[in-house]
Amino acid sequence: MKDQQKNINDLLCQALNVQIEQGLGEMIINPQAMMPGNDSKEPITVVEKSDNSIVISLDSNDDSVEPAQYDSLEEHYKDICQCQLCSLGKTRNNFVYGAGNPSADLMFVGEAPGRDEDLKGEPFVGRAGKLLDKIIEAMQLKREDIYIANILKCRPPDNRDPLPEEMEKCFPYLKEQIHLIKPKIICALGRIGAQALLNTKTPLGRLRKIWHRVEGIPTLVTYHPAALLRFQKYKKDTWEDMQLIMA
């Protein structure tokens, strides 16, 4: 099985190298072809960008990005900040919309607010948030340069995992934020956020190091900063993912 996957990877690399040498802009691999871990059974699209970076799309989103329904993030926020679409609306202290540069090139997406975020009404302000700040600094960026949001805008009680029905109800809000911000790159933080964003059940380890697309935007998956606080060994992998983004 491992040999088979290696062969597929080798063939894919060869095909991409030929593509780059020929200077062709776009390649669609056999639409019926499946990548290991592509549970969605969707076509794989490989696009070579003008800077020779390569985007491999495994998700069902195509390039036809819907236009934003609102004129600004403020207008959107005002319209949804009293949301009671799911039961989390009753238990939250604060609605955590998102924060950062409304024209950011890079957007981080996590899963849901935790205790500190719920109390402050801001995403990533607890210990995990401080670690994310350090990662952003190491990327030679500041928080004001990027935008941070979550799939859910309200804290699940006791920091339990978000329920599928909660994410389904809340996801359109994030989509609208993406349409308004139009980042060049999205970075999904952690398994739950990544799986919700990419509409897949593929484990995080197999989602990393591949450029996906969300609403037509190149998207990379890495570990959640909270996981880095628990497991130091993920720090090196996370930094490699950040270097891919910077490149």
Interaction site with ligand SF4 (CB under 6 A): 83-86, 88-89, 152-154, 166, 169-170
**Residue (30 or 82) nearer to ligand SF4, CB:** 82
Concatenate the DSSP letters of all residues of the chain into one string: -HHHHHHHHHHHHHHHHHHHHHT--EEE--TT---TT-TT-PPPEEEE-TTS-EEEE-SS--S-PPPPSSS-HHHHHHHHTT--SSTHHHH-SS----EE-TT-SEEEEES---HHHHHHTSSS-SHHHHHHHHHHHHTT--GGGSEEEES-SSPPGGGPPPPHHHHHHHHHHHHHHHHHH--SEEEEESHHHHHHHHT----HHHHTTS-EEETTEEEEEE--HHHHHH-TTHHHHHHHHHHHHH-
Taking the complex as a whole, the smallest distance from the CB of residue 79 to ligand SF4 amounts, in Å, to 11
Taking the complex as a whole, the smallest distance from the CB of residue 202 to ligand SF4 amounts, in Å, to 24
**Residue (65 or 83) nearer to ligand SF4, CB:** 83
Taking the complex as a whole, the smallest distance from the CB of residue 171 to ligand SF4 amounts, in Å, to 9
**Residue (170 or 242) nearer to ligand SF4, CB:** 170
> Taking a C-beta distance cutoff of 8 angstroms, is the pair 77, 217 a contact?
no
* Distance, CA of 221 to chain centre: 6
Taking the complex as a whole, the smallest distance from the CB of residue 97 to ligand SF4 amounts, in Å, to 9
Taking the complex as a whole, the smallest distance from the CB of residue 152 to ligand SF4 amounts, in Å, to 5
**Residue (45 or 150) nearer to ligand SF4, CB:** 150
Taking the complex as a whole, the smallest distance from the CB of residue 150 to ligand SF4 amounts, in Å, to 9
Sheet holding 26-28, edge to edge: 26-28, 45-48, 54-57
Q: How far apart are CA 235 and CA 63, in angstroms?
A: 32
150 bridge partner residues: 110
Taking the complex as a whole, the smallest distance from the CB of residue 178 to ligand SF4 amounts, in Å, to 15
**Residue (56 or 167) nearer to ligand SF4, CB:** 167
**Residue (98 or 183) nearer to ligand SF4, CB:** 98
**Residue (156 or 183) nearer to ligand SF4, CB:** 156
